Structure 1
Amino acid sequence: MDWRAIMDDFAAHWPVYLSMPFIAAVIGYVTKRAAIEMMFRPVEFVGVGLVGWQGVIPRNAHRMASVAMELMTTNLIEPKAIFARLDPKNVAEELREPIERAVDEITRELLAHYQPNLWELMPEQAQRRILVRVRAEAPRIVERLMRELAENIEDILDVKDMAVRNLVRDKAMLNRLIRDTARPEMRFIAQSGIYFGFTIGLVQLVTWALTKNPWVMPIFGGLTGWLTDWLALKMIFFPRRPKRFLGLVTWQGMFQKRRMEVARDYGDLIAKEILTVKNVMDAVLTGPKSDRLYAMIQREVQRAIDAQASLAKPFVVAAVGTRRYQEMKQAAARKAIERIPETIRHVEGYATGALDIRNTIVRQIQQLTPLQYEGLLRPAFKQDEWKLIAVGAIIGFLVGELQVLLVLH
């Protein structure tokens, strides 16, 4: 090996040699940033036919959301225990005013429709007495419904289905769930490319000086893109517990190390954007199990009408007719159901505080095993990370090829 020739070449082309580790550092950073952005953007497919790209997470929105929400409903949220925190008496009290208005309107409408002459001829004092009796029964109906709802919440509300539907419908929210939770890890991935790339660039410098092989730069460029992506992703999650290397450095996967901070961020986002009282109530009213709730309400309303009619029921039935009496009960239940969305918003403030979703999630995340906890973020990378690593390698290879062209020409 002619060391003098190598040193002369280095002296003649020192800017090229010194640029190698810095260019490798740039390759490392750029490939990391590209990999990160390709995970999330674009939210919708951009391209023509099969040629194009959609962010890895938005493209796999249903799978990503299903995995994340499976972990949440299995390990973080127990619907029955959560909904048991709602005190039926407090709910009834919160809803007293809107329910009384609804009861007045529904009662007047039904009696005016099914027995108009009787209602119009009835003295105002008698009308008020009927309304007072019905109003007095309404809070008890709400209490009974709330107790039954809490006992049978898993038969009425599919929390996982609700969350997955919301995340698939709003892919930007799914992006935020992952990106906001792992922002420091994303920053680490990008910055690690600089350090890893620079180190590989030093090896590239020596290899080029010794061989002058035109394949050195593209191969090392590809290696920089591939290896730094792979290494950065591994360092986020592993080791799961603190581990000492070479007796000098202690390292724990960044995501594992940030458990308390992640718990707070994850809990905030789930409570504010996914498991909100509004979303839960929408799911209860429109989800795949909503028919069971409506059956419950219908049963309670019809039972209440029968109870109110009680002694006068034979006369009421005689005056209205058996068929129309049954129609009246069904109409009352239907009108009550129609008013639920408007009425229920009056309880949102109380329910949000009582359910305490955010703090529940924070506490439960602290109790997960390292492997379970990893599942909060790992699915976002695991299945498609090879694509991101491959893209990093291709970009690195092309930049390396460009380096060769600039050096040789």
Structure 2
Amino acid sequence: MLLEQAVRSVLTAPDGTLDLALDTGASLLAASAGQWPAVSRAVLGHADTAVGRCWSAGWRPADLVRVVRRELKPVHLALAVDLIAAEGRRHPAAAPDRRWQEQLRELETEVWWQGDDGYLAAFAHRHRLDRFALATTLLELLRTWGRLPPIAPVGPTPGQAAPRAERSAGPVPGEPRMLARIRALLAKAESTEYPEEAEALTAKAQQLMAQHSIDEALLAAAGADRDAPAALRIGVDNPYEGPKTMLLDAVAAANRCRVVWAKEFGFCTVVGFDGDLDGVELLYTSLLVQATHALNKAGSGRDSRTKAFRQSFLVAYAARIRERLTTATERATSAAAAGRHLREDGTEEQLLPDERLLPALAARSEAVDEEVGRLFPKLVSQRVRVSDGEGWAAGRAAADRAALHGRTGELRR
């Protein structure tokens, strides 16, 4: 088959002869308009194999797209999304787990073309490519995906059984109702022009998430919930990916999660319990936006646009956020241990202190550590250097001003 021959040649070509292999393969595929429908049909059929191999190797939809975004061009990205959509036709709509479905929605995967024979022609027309350019783009994409190594899986692939029953309710299918409320509170906090209102909204979100996490720990201690640690991947890209990873680690650590950084692929794997992972992702995203805004504002004068200043700023920001989150987590845990319980409607009730709480939280932290050891038996630590004192001071000041209470609470347990 022409496609298999071209793909095999490109996959096995050394870097020094890659251009020749690409030109030869693309010429073979695009040789005549008459064979183009057959090539189109073969491409979408090959997607089942190429994309399915990536799923089996531990990769997820957002991961494959992230790799393409980092290494290739926008047209490759559009083609990647289409091939993921084509492969998805093999699976029932309800087969993937909740986070898998969320990633597909965010990528806006859809089979928009009419008939597999006409897909390549339709794509070429949409992106203004000739047959040779599109064939080259296809082979470059398949080479990038075909050379990806196996990585630690963070959930079931389509067709595999989920580790536990999917949760229901909320605007995102499977999302816990409490998390949906917190997400709504944070959206309001970020959109309001009044700092006092934003602080109140984020504080309420924080309290709700903290109580939700504690409730889950107590359910597990009572044997009513056999939840186990899970994992997700969060993209962390340049510039300053080291300090960004430190910020993510600060958020995760305060919420009894662990972070493992895969620098070469531009993502971190976060290991923790399911509800905690959702909170970590929400809070990290919010704090990263706040840090970027603060950095841009601080970068308007003197030497603040230098790489040393900006690196030091973000390292200090992450370090100070770690301190604030740790303090907030300790306060929330102490309140819960004393029997102060926050209802879902925001009111508080006084219960008898529950002596199971602290051992339950410790058990969950231990379970997370064990899961990290299972997934990543060989880990190394890495230091990030600070070389600008002014940037460090500015970063800590910005972290002190960050409105993290609401999001922190979401993550805390």
TM-score in terms of structure 2 length: 0.21
Higher relative contact order, chain-length normalized (CA < 8 Å, sep 6+): 1
The answer to which structure has the higher helix fraction is 1
Greater gyration radius: 1
Normalization by structure 1: what TM-score? 0.21
